[in-house]
Amino acid sequence: ALFADGEGGPREAALDPALRPRQDDPSAIRSVGVIGGGTAGYLTALALRAKRPWLDVTLVESSGIPIIGVGEATTPSMLPFLHHYLGIDPADLYEKVLPTWKLGIRFDWGPHPEGFMAPFDWGSNSVGVLGSLATQGDINAFTLQSLFMKADRAPVFPLEGGRHLSLMKQMPFAYHLDNQRFVRYLTDLAAARGIRHVDATVAEVVLGGDDWVDCLRTPDGRELRFDLYVDCTGFRSLLLEKTLGSRFVSYAASLATDTAVTGVVPHGGHIKPYTTATTMDAGWCWNIPTREADHVGYVHSSRFLSLEEATEELRRRYPGVDTFRPVRFRVGRHEEAWRGNVVAIGNSYAFVEPLESSGLMMITLGILSLVSTLPASWADPVPRALVNRALSKKWDEIRWFLSIHYRFNTRRDTPFWREMHTGADVSGLEPLLEVFRAGAPLRFRDSVVRGFLESTAPTFYGLEGVDCLLLGQGYPARLLPMSEPVEAWQARKDAADALVGRGLGTAEALRAFDTDPELNAELLDDPDSWVVRTGTDRLVNA
């Protein structure tokens, strides 16, 4: 404690008084224009306001250009980001956005009839992956959370007197957020927190020098001028690509999809505690439970399927599906996220298709990078190279991680999957795949091998994520021997099943959280909770 606050100790860059602009500095960064009012724009504006309250933040969006309107399944880092970093009151979020919970992704994928679970506690191996493979031939009993997913229950238990015991603070989970409600909520919050709002279409971006935006012009002749411009214009990438010409690096050789057809299916009150990803003829379909209905979307390749055919197949998969909407996208990143006085966050910088729900997570990573490194003045050193290198590395990692979902899905009965089987580029992971084939899971390899893999292979979610995806899909490997008798594993599994069997269904558990604020308070504030222990570090070190 004596040295805790001493010289040289880490401080939160944000709120650091040295980052306040000096009165007499002509190059000071005082005003920020966030261009775009989708999830990226609003989250960025709110973060700058929360962490650099002296900045004058304006959000410019065009009511004539709609937001993309998808992006509903998130990852656990969203909880510390929303509630701790942005300071959003959980009771307010529950009341106005009505989130549901995601314990992981259930993949209807690979050789096993039940598919496989990718739970967020995959780092824990709490029940045991080798025992699960030995006794049931799949990985679906490898953690406590995968058992909750399989049993369709939440880790919330009824007590006497209408009270509840929650184990949610022991198990990393994420939100499903209805996109319309979420963006509306962020819009109102931004207004309440003093973020200026301009409804205008940017018709022209005026340069004041190399890589330097001077101002923006609107069709009615207005000029909007800021010190820093954050490009959140979505796939248009109006400032970063169209104006500054940052090169686009495509990931299409690994990830062939470019279109989604979305829809809504009634769920009759049955809320599942996970996102489902189901293999389809030319791609896959997400199923994201909201409070009222399941939101579904068929992500596919337009080279293999027309929109009409995709809609038909979605209808066959989910009879009763309604309100179809097509969404086009491209996968890849730009050469830089930060060029001159422009930083791009969201789809304007990079995008990979939503198989691992990485969109909002990568937006928040972009935001943390900006908030933590933005200097007080353009006259100060600007760490653009660090940010550009760190972000592009993360994006390339997720490209390779997603590629193994395509290359090693065992389906071969359609032209799309046959092409993925031989053609999806996984070259970035070759050395790791070789090691995996020689002895799996990777998590049990010795520390030298693990260390080499962790420092050289682009794993994104660590070795545990790769283990889960490859073992789940039945990728051929020599399995390492169990280090315990199978009876010991079975006893642990029986105890876990007994606990899981007492959990509530998700709809009922959510109602408990809606009505008892103490349950969220202990989840978000208890020092033992994963939300507090990992915080937003989880994003940087994912």
CB 500, min distance to ligand FAD, A: 26
Q: Which residues from 275-304 bind ligand FAD, rule CB under 6 A?
A: 297
φ and ψ of 96, to 5 deg? -95, -30
Q: Which region, judged by CB under 6 A, interacts with ligand FAD, from 58-66, 79-87, 126-134, 422-430?
A: 58-66
Among 39, 125, 388, 506, binds ligand FAD (CB under 6 A): 39
**Which residues inside 214-233 make contact with ligand FAD, applying CB under 6 A?**
232-233
Q: Which of 21, 37, 128, 441 binds ligand FAD (CB under 6 A)?
A: 37
Among 21, 29, 45, 72, binds ligand FAD (CB under 6 A): 72
Q: Is the peptide bond before 441 cis (omega within 30 degrees of 0)?
A: yes
Site string for ligand FAD, 332-351 (x = CB under 6 A): --------------xxx---
Work out how close the CB of 275 gets to ligand FAD at its nearest, in angstroms, rounded to a whole number: 7
The CA distance from 228 to 245, in Å, is 18
When the beta carbons of 345 and 531 are compared against ligand FAD, the nearer one is 345
Q: Is 102 a catalytic residue?
A: yes
Chain-centroid distance, C-alpha 481: 34
**Least distance (Å) from ligand FAD to the CB of residue 34?**
10
Q: Does 74 bind ligand FAD (CB under 6 A)?
A: yes
> Interface with ligand FAD includes 36 (CB under 6 A)?
yes
The secondary structure of residue 213, as a DSSP letter, is: E
User: Using CB under 6 A, which residues numbered 229 to 268 contact ligand FAD?
Assistant: 232-234, 236, 238, 260
Binding mask 468-507 for ligand FAD (x = CB under 6 A): ----------------------------------------
**Cα–Cα distances in angstroms (integers) from residue 485 to residues 131, 132, 444, 491, in the given order:** 9, 13, 17, 10
Q: How far is the CB of 357 from ligand FAD (least distance, A)?
A: 4
From residue 164, how far is each of 144, 168, 529 by CA, in Å? 19, 12, 17
**Binding residue for ligand FAD (CB under 6 A) from 60, 141, 154, 280?**
60
Cα–Cα distances (Å) from 323 to 11, 64, 295, 297, 316, in that order, read 49, 21, 10, 11, 15
Q: Which is nearer to ligand FAD, 145 or 233 (CB)?
A: 233
Cα distances from 370 to residues 187, 375, 384, 523, in angstroms, run 21, 9, 10, 28
61, 121, 178, 467: which one binds ligand FAD (CB under 6 A): 61
**What's the number of CA atoms in the CB half-sphere (13 Å) around residue 38?**
24
Are 72 and 264 in contact by the 8 Å Cβ rule? The answer is no
Task: Report, in Å, the least distance between residue 359 CB and ligand FAD.
Answer: 2
Residues 164-203 that bind ligand FAD (CB under 6 A): 201-202
The answer to the question of residue 388 lying near ligand FAD (CB under 6 A) is no
Nearer to ligand FAD, 166 or 233 (CB): 233
Count other Cβ atoms within 10 Å, centred on residue 459: 21
Of residues 28 and 362, the one with the C-beta less far from ligand FAD:
362
- Is the CB of 117 or the CB of 127 nearer to ligand FAD? 117
Residue 463 C-alpha from the chain's centroid: 18
Binds ligand FAD by CB under 6 A, chosen from 13, 327, 390, 479: 327
The active-site residue out of 102, 169, 272, 493 is 102
- Is residue 20 helix, strand or coil? coil
Nearer to ligand FAD, 314 or 477 (CB): 314
CB 46 within 8 A of CB 368: no
Helix or strand or coil: residue 278?
Answer: strand
Phi-psi region of 156 (alpha: psi -120 to 50; beta: other; left: phi over 0): beta
What residues between 395 and 454 interact with ligand FAD by CB under 6 A?
none
Is the CB of 351 or the CB of 408 nearer to ligand FAD?
351
What is the spatial distance between Cα 384 and Cα 212, in angstroms, rounded to a whole number?
Answer: 14
Question: Helix (H, G, I), strand (E, B), or coil: what is residue 289?
Answer: strand
Rounded least distance, CB 388 to ligand FAD, Å: 18
For ligand FAD, which residue of 107, 182, 329, 417 counts as binding (CB under 6 A)?
329
The DSSP secondary structure of 490-539, one letter per residue, reads HHHHHHHHHHHTTSBPHHHHHHHHHH-HHHHHHHHH-TTSHHHHHTTHHH
* Helix 90-97 vs helix 179-192: crossing angle, to nearest 10: 130
Which of 40, 55, 82, 93 is in the footprint of ligand FAD by CB under 6 A? 40
Q: Which of 128, 332, 340, 359 binds ligand FAD (CB under 6 A)?
A: 359
355 in contact with ligand FAD (CB under 6 A): no
Q: Are 242 and 334 in contact (CB under 8 A)?
A: no
Structure tokens at 131: 């025992």
DSSP result, 338-407:
EETTEEE-STTTEE--GGG--HHHHHHHHHHHHHHH--SBTTS---HHHHHHHHHHHHHHHHHHHHHHHH
What does 149-190 look like in DSSP terms, one character per residue?
HHHT-BSEEE-GGG-EEE-GGGS--EEE--HHHHHHHHHHHH
Out of 21, 33, 71, 172, the residue judged to bind ligand FAD by CB under 6 A: 71
Query: What minimum distance in Å lies between the beta carbon of 276 and ligand FAD?
Result: 12
Out of 65, 151, 253, 307, name the contact with ligand FAD by CB under 6 A.
65
Count CA atoms closer than 13 A to 148's CA, side-chain side.
33
Binding site for ligand FAD (CB under 6 A): 35-41, 60-62, 65, 67-68, 70-74, 201-202, 232-234, 236, 238, 260, 297, 327, 329, 346-348, 354, 357, 359-360, 363
Active site residues: 102
